[in-house]
Amino acid sequence: MSKEFVTRFAPSPTGFMHIGNLRTALYAFLLARANNGKFILRIEDTDQERLVEGAVDVIYSTLEMTGMTHDEGPDIGGPNGPYVQSERKDIYMKYAKELVEKGGAYYCFCSKERLEKLHEDGDLGAGYDRHCRNLPKEEVEKNLAAGMPFVIRQKMPLEGSTGYDDSVFGHIEIENAEMQDQILIKADGFPTYNFCHVIDDHLMGVTHVVRGSEYLTSTPKYVLLYDAFGWERPVYCHLPLLMGKDADGNVSKLSKRHGSVSFQELVKNGYLPQAIINYMAFTGWCPKDTNEEFFTIDELTKVFSIDGISKSPAVFDYEKLLWFNNHYIKEMPLDEFMAKAKPYYSEEYAAFADNEKLAKLIQTRISVFPEVNEKAEFVKGLPDYDTELFVNKKNKTTIEQCADIIEYSLPKLKDVSDWSNDTLFELLKGIAEEKGVKAGAVMWAIRIGVSGLAVTPGGATELMEILGKDESIKRLETSLEKIRN
Ligand code: GLU
């Protein structure tokens, strides 16, 4: 019988979701779903000094917005709870004591002063000289009975080496002598990450540990813990580094100077969760046997596999993210687009936020929501533009000729009763024939005359339909006057 696949996402509640963590969550989620397994959410909050108010809600809302549903977690419970590490303190202490019994750990009573002095005097760095490693049992018991403060340290083997096979990076082997007798339980009774995540992963039945490559070389310490307890090691799946492109063309670890690095900020800046997820899936993984790039999260669960993960650093490309976002914006039903775009309109365009025709023009032309404003610029009013705009090589237009076209068109436009794109288009085409010029020339003259902008999200007649008859005519009259004076 094949074993159940269990993965987990184990964020520390920092108050924002770094996109590197989002990718970790995504790959862990996809791996579980692709194998009909379970995906657990666990909150790693043992660093009590770094707790941030509301930070756990950020985690829940990210998972919800992206569609990463978990099967067990603090909010929904499950058979292996509690799922918040600070609520599991007693469990860790029990296992730490058990590990001492088994010979894999020891009590350390060194005072802060002694350790500080050690670091000042010697070349141990932040290391420890293993002073308490071989304290006689009686002395340990006496100290404990006297209520002396202690930490519990992992007893690293002094010789040989420890290795494991990472499913992305291959075999990793570290000399035991290089590994510190790291602290497992701190003086305040809280465990360190190094200890509690191992206990939890084991107790929660995690079969595949998916996480960032910063843990790649510390994992030998963790497998030693599994071995000391006599537990089966999980499969490790460390993810490639996430880099950003620097201004000089080099790459460095993805950080704020490359752009927004939190999911919340990206969403606030007008990126869609489904676009972020689709792009994130490709930052370190790609599907086999297809060049397809667009995948919903459900589709990803069908094609995701560990062997598609690359160990080379992935560069987070903001341009590519824009491209994905543009795709998902274009695909939205119009009403959904309008609802999503509405909050991004600045005050001067707010009155047009519910205009369906404007929304239709804009929807296909933006990559990210705040761009609605630059696209809507033509509704604001006729700017004080340079009449050179009327000169267009392709349509062979001159300023004078445009003035003539506008003058000729104005009375005909005033006669239009059905002010619609189609009617206006037919009318302008007819005018071109009457004047013996290309339709493009008339469209150009009217478009510039009505907008005063070189670039607009639609043609002359589309703009006029949105602006309405009175406003369009008023603008054309103003433009005509502008040229003639
Ligand atoms: N709490 C750790 C982090 O956020 C989790 C690492 C792991 O997944 O083991 O980096």
pLDDT at residue number 3? 72
Helix (H) or strand (E) run with residue 173 in it: strand 170-175
Q: How many CB atoms lie within 10 A of CB 171?
A: 8
pLDDT at 48 over 90: no
Tell me which residue of 15, 45, 44 sits closest to 209, measured CA to CA.
44
Which strands form 251-253's sheet, in the order they lie side by side? Answer: 251-253, 242-245, 314-316
Task: Identify the bridge partners of residue 251 per DSSP, sorted by sequence position.
Answer: 245
**Residue 123: which pLDDT band, with cuts at 50, 70 and 90?**
low
347, 361 contact by CB (below 8 A): no
Q: In the numeric block, which tokens belong to residue 420?
A: 């619609």
Residue nearest to atom 3 of ligand 1 (CA): 11
Q: What is the DSSP string of 58-112?
A: HHHHHHHHHT---SBBTTTB-TT---BGGGGHHHHHHHHHHHHHHTSEEEE---H
Give the nearest ligand 1 atom to 197 CA.
9
pLDDT at residue number 50? 74
Backbone angles phi, psi at 248, to 5 degrees: -85, 10
452, 385 contact by CB (below 8 A): yes
Please give the distance, rounded to the nearest whole angstrom, from the Cα atom of residue 194 to the centre of ligand 1.
Answer: 10
Domains, the chain, with CATH or none: 87-239 (3.40.50.620), 243-331 (1.10.1160.10), 334-371 (no CATH), 381-484 (1.10.10.350)
Please give the distance, rounded to the nearest whole angstrom, from the Cα atom of residue 12 to the centre of ligand 1.
Answer: 7
* Average pLDDT of the chain to the nearest whole number: 95
Please give the distance, rounded to the nearest whole angstrom, from the Cα atom of residue 295 to the centre of ligand 1.
Answer: 27
**Backbone dihedral region for residue 368 (phi beyond 0: left; psi -120 to 50: alpha; all else: beta):** beta
Residue nearest to atom 5 of ligand 1 (CA): 10
DSSP category for residue 133: T
Once rounded to an integer, what is the mean pLDDT over residues 35-43? 98
Please give the distance, rounded to the nearest whole angstrom, from the Cα atom of residue 430 to the centre of ligand 1.
Answer: 68
Residue list, ligand 1 pocket, CB within 6 Å: 10-12, 44, 197, 211, 215
What gap in Å lies between CA 156 and CA 162, rounded to an integer?
10
Helix (H) or strand (E) run with residue 285 in it: none
- Residue-wise pLDDT for 452-474, tens only, equals 999 999 999 999 999 999 999 99
Give the nearest ligand 1 atom to 14 CA.
4
- Residue-wise pLDDT for 431-449, tens only, equals 999 999 999 999 999 999 9
**Residue 1: which pLDDT band, with cuts at 50, 70 and 90?**
very low
What gap in Å lies between CA 246 and CA 252, rounded to an integer?
7
Using most ligand atoms within 8 A of CB, pick from 215, 218, 233 the residue to mutate for ligand 1.
215
480, 407 contact by CB (below 8 A): yes
Backbone angles phi, psi at 247, to 5 degrees: -60, -35
Residue 221 CB burial class (10 angstroms; 0-12, 13-18, ≥19): buried
Tokens 């075999």 identify what position? 171
- Residue-wise pLDDT for 79-107, tens only, equals 999 999 999 999 999 999 999 999 999 99
Can you tell me whether residue 469 is helix, strand or coil?
helix
Please give the distance, rounded to the nearest whole angstrom, from the Cα atom of residue 44 to the centre of ligand 1.
Answer: 7
Residue nearest to atom 2 of ligand 1 (CA): 11
Residue nearest to atom 9 of ligand 1 (CA): 211
What gap in Å lies between CA 236 and CA 220, rounded to an integer?
11
Tokens 């690293």 identify what position? 156
Lowest pLDDT segment from 119-123, 213-217, 407-411: 119-123
Give the nearest ligand 1 atom to 44 CA.
1
In percent, the amount of the chain with pLDDT more than 90 equals 92
Amino acid at residue number 154? Q
pLDDT at residue number 289? 87
Give the nearest ligand 1 atom to 21 CA.
4
User: Could you list the active site residues?
Assistant: 256
pLDDT at residue number 425? 98
Residue nearest to atom 4 of ligand 1 (CA): 11
Lowest pLDDT segment from 118-122, 232-236, 361-365: 118-122
